[in-house]
Amino acid sequence: MTLTPFSKPLNRRFSVAPMLDWTDPHERYFLRLISKNALLYTEMVTTGALIHGERNRYLHYNAEEHPLALQLGGSNPKELSICTQMAVDYGYDEINLNVGCPSQRVQKGAFGACLMREPSLVADCVNAMKDKANGCPITVKNRIGVDDHEGYEKLYYFIQTVAKAGCQTFIIHARKALLKGLSPKENRDIPPLDYSMVYQLKKDFPQLNIIINGGIKTLAACTQHLQHVDGVMIGREAYHNPYLLAHVDQQFYNSPQAAPSREQILQQYLNYIQQQLKKGTSLNHMTRHILGLYH
């Protein structure tokens, strides 16, 4: 299967985070009805799932979802290079390496946030991915630290090391990950936010694209962050309050088109649901994503 990537240069001023069990193809299609320009991300897909599983199940998407990034979870450079080639064949616009997920399942696979301790390995992974990327951007999503491996000096060294391997874009969740004693849900709330560390990275690495993530809930907050960094990524708020995206195109991409109404969005999504039902798609898998539309 080969699809055509997005024809325009990627603009990362606003993006929606990869979220396990949430940002599936139906959710992404729904969000694309609200914003034509926001960069969307898949759920994290592990290298093992792609290499040993049914790849089309994990990689398929609707052409309307562009611009679209695939997030990979893994720590083996060879496996990541194989999966990068798959992603290129499927026409993704960006391939992102997960260095931020704190779940125990991910830790057992020796990837995610625990890789913050191994910047040289992450650099090797990025280098291997770039070899197969055919020009597709390779990016990294990471935290500001992990457990007692914290502080700006360590974060600086991580960014510096991985950037030398060719990564030009870092999406940084402005919390450290606590891998011992906290669940993934708690890791999204309990570790304190430190936006200033992300701002400092942009000052120290002006040549890099620095995207900030974590605890951002309004477009006004996005505008404030954009005074310091290149882009903003919103996670759970975009899922629970999707109409937040309605003014993204006008505010951040200078779109002349009026924001769609909730009714217009719902009607278009109902048309999509009818098409998908004919293919045997579960109704619940699609309708669960619209519960926050009238938030």
**DSSP letter (8 states) at residue 240:** H
Active site residue 167: no
Polymer length of the chain: 295
Angstrom distance (rounded) from CA 225 to CA 199? 9
51-56 contacts: CB < 8 A, separation 24 or more?
51/79, 51/82, 51/83, 55/86, 56/1
Collect all residues with Cβ–Cβ distance below 8 Å to 279 and sequence separation of at least 6: none
- State the Cα–Cα distance between residues 189 and 168, nearest whole angstrom: 28
How far apart are alpha carbons 35 and 12 in whole angstroms?
13
Of 83, 101, 114, 167, the active-site residue reads 101
Catalytic residues: 101
